[in-house]
Structure 1
């Protein structure tokens, strides 16, 4: 196998949660371009349908399953349906997540804490359990989780303890599952991005004041782009990373070097 072929994914079925926009969509695009059959899971059907429409227009295989990662029964049902029709997922990208910043710890409500943990931690586990069970049975699979540099450092100037804790949990979940499932030839890795320039980030007025501090704390002096994260995910998902499991790959412009 050539080095270039190690990045190819013919015959793979790649599930991307939250694949309708931003990093999720760019990841779906990267996986489709590599030859995978992409399965997007989105709670918002319209957004998912637009993504699938664009992917298929490019000549890639793609389909949508409507569902919310916090619904463990739904995630199990999707995983089982794919397996029952003879196309079990061989790649899972746990991309779906939510963020919240600006609330000091003493002001964090129970509802806010539980909402973030339910999506960012429970959702990753429910999906990994559901799709990973079929990978373990088949003796093959690759899972890539969306962590964050915030799982390693405490951000400034904005307080965001719940989000940071949720991503730290994702990092350790990644290592724990990787150690457990290595014997079954199922690899589990994560990426830990910096601030990514997305419409959601740009639309928040508070971020205009935070941006100079963020960039000053970043050796490369810039925010990241969604396709840069997607490229790293493609690497970890593919056989190019065949000896890598339990890794949390910084995609942060050097942020965590300082």
Structure 2
């Protein structure tokens, strides 16, 4: 019989695998990109940011002894994503893992929201995930080694947040969850697993601005664990779903919400 004790830790080991992370310059995407390197992966870092966020991610990865490549691209462009995947495979090797975290959030009352505000968010949060998965899966299918894709959704795709007027955001994240399930079933017999992670309120730069102090206190009081998540707490769920430890998981939406959706 196989020695289970000896082999168990290897289930989470990503050594020798290449990952592409969108939204790698800040927040959840940045921290997960770092976490993938900590688990042994080489990581392509894609973001449209113009600050030094991606460079900071790359510097951290270098300290882990893993390789990275920085890619400036917009997830709403299919051609840019295809080129990003090509660059990833040229510089790092065949793509096996993908984590799609690029997204935006804003709010406005539904009856007052401008069409441009709605469309811009949907283009990034839904179309961007679709185009990212499409480009990533094409590469995975072409080299025949299969792969694993994880999309960052939100508990807002499952519930409606009290006090937040964000019908477009909620709809986009619900779309990401169901899109992930649908893609999982399309590729289930070709070696590609697709899952999503739905964070609850998380202490990202967007949520910890000084002007958000009153609202973040509300977020914490509404959460059964009585606090927001740290970005560190999103690494484990993502690594699990991307790794061999989740080899029988596809089409799953993993809520990481401090118990919020229980109430």
SS in 2 for 1:105: coil
SS in 2 for 1:90: strand
Match in the other structure for 1:208: 213
Deviation of 1:54 after TM superposition, in Å, equals 2.4
Match in the other structure for 1:3: 8
Q: 1:67-106 counterparts in 2 under 5 A?
A: 67-83=73-89, 87-101=93-107, 103-106=108-111
What are the ranges of 5 or more consecutive residues in structure 2 without an aligned counterpart? 1-5
Match in the other structure for 2:3: none
Question: Per-residue displacement from partner, 1:206-251 (whole Å, max 9, x unpaired)?
Answer: x333334322321111101101012110111100100000000000
Match in the other structure for 1:149: 155
Q: Report the TM-score, using the length of structure 2 for normalisation.
A: 0.93
Deviation of 1:51 after TM superposition, in Å, equals 1.6
Question: Per-residue displacement from partner, 1:118-174 (whole Å, max 9, x unpaired)?
Answer: 110011011100011111231410000000000000011121111000000000001
Following the alignment from structure 2 to structure 1, what is the Cα–Cα distance between the partners of residues 74 and 59? 20
Residues 186, 122 of structure 1: alpha-carbon distance in 2 compared, 3 angstrom cutoff: same
1:183 maps to 2:189:
yes
Following the alignment from structure 2 to structure 1, what is the Cα–Cα distance between the partners of residues 191 and 36? 20
Question: Per-residue displacement from partner, 1:73-117 (whole Å, max 9, x unpaired)?
Answer: 10011213434568121101001110112x110011111001100
SS in 2 for 1:220: coil
Deviation of 1:254 after TM superposition, in Å, equals 0.5
Residues 139, 184 of structure 1: 8 Å contact kept:
no
Residues 18, 92 of structure 2: 8 Å contact kept:
no
Match in the other structure for 1:227: 232
Q: 1:44-193 counterparts in 2 under 5 A?
A: 44=49, 46-83=52-89, 87-101=93-107, 103-137=108-142, 138-193=144-199
Residues 157, 213 of structure 1: 8 Å contact kept:
no
Residue from 33, 36, 41 that aligns with 2:38:
33
Match in the other structure for 1:24: 29
SS in 2 for 1:20: coil
Match in the other structure for 1:15: 20
Question: Per-residue displacement from partner, 1:14-50 (whole Å, max 9, x unpaired)?
Answer: 0011111221121111110111111100112532122
SS in 1 for 2:79: helix
Following the alignment from structure 1 to structure 2, what is the Cα–Cα distance between the partners of residues 86 and 61? 8
Superposition misfits of 4+ residues, deviation over 3 angstroms: 81-86
CA RMSD, 1 decimal: 1.6
